[in-house]
Amino acid sequence: MNLPQGYDGAEHTLLKGTTTNATHWTLIARCRGCTSYHDVDENLAVLNGTGTAQFAWAHGTTGLENPALNTSAFNVHQEFGKWTHDLNSSRSPMFESWVSSNLLVPAAGSSSSSSSAAPTTLSTATSAAPTPKASTAAPKASIPASCSGAGTAAFQGVLASGWKGTKVLGGLTSPRSIVFDTAGNMLVVQSGKGISYHVMSPDGCVTSTKMLVSLNSLNHGIALTPDGKTLYASSMTQAFAWPYDAAAGTVGTRSTVITGMF
């Protein structure tokens, strides 16, 4: 499954039955502006209000990066399912009356616009990454016992004699693939979020991080051309290319090179 785009400017009216406690929340709402969205190919899709449509549910044990943002990324859920619903059979001339009589009390703050600002923080998920190769301009250094800010590995590995492993980065959102550029920087595809750019120190620890490409349809693949000047990444159905500057950590205009993949 692919992380959906957030609804830009949608309006939610909370209704009776909406509750929260220390561990759970139940939301009952009327949403305006929630019947069209962009699919994994970034094409506009519209629900058919007079026919049938497929819906989905998901359950996960990890929290959102920022619950205040409807575009906030989240890690892969543990369970999900789909069903088909006949929207036409649910239509009723009494709908507006039902909404009016079931507004959440107090009415103040019963409706709000969804924020569409892009998330700028990283989730609490952890990921152990292979020891990156040092930049050709930097001297080689021994692997440190730990890297500042990386946190403690969730699971301890068992390595062969003479080998050593150190967690160099955490706080990623469903990391799927990594690649190192010609300057020794590490690029990571985070499913549902995009590609992050990580500057490495000679000992293999991360010294700085930024989002290089924010595109939540990216899923698995990432690669660089041998000269390191073109970056490729893919969604579930398309492959994209960007002109890439390793030293500056920037990309140019995106182009689509493959479509129709399954």
CA angle 112, 114, 120 (to 5 degrees): 135
Q: Is the peptide bond before 106 cis (omega within 30 degrees of 0)?
A: yes
Which amino acid would we find at residue 123? S
Which DSSP symbol is given to 104? P
Task: Tell me how far apart the alpha carbons of residues 211 and 173 are, in angstroms, rounded to a whole number.
Answer: 12
Structural domains of the chain ordered from first start:
11-113 (2.60.40.1210), 122-262 (no CATH)
Using a cut of 0.85, tell me whether the model's pTM lies above it: no
- Tell me the pLDDT of the chain (262 aa) as tens digits: 566 666 777 888 999 999 988 888 888 999 888 888 776 666 778 888 889 988 888 877 777 767 777 667 666 677 888 889 898 888 889 999 999 999 987 544 434 433 333 332 223 333 344 444 544 544 556 788 899 989 888 887 888 998 888 999 988 888 999 999 999 999 999 988 899 999 999 999 999 999 999 998 888 899 999 999 999 999 988 999 999 999 999 999 999 999 988 8
Alpha-carbon distance 33 to 165, whole Å? Answer: 49
Q: Distances from the Cα of 154 to the Cαs of 126, 169, 175, 206, 238, in angstroms? A: 7, 12, 15, 18, 33
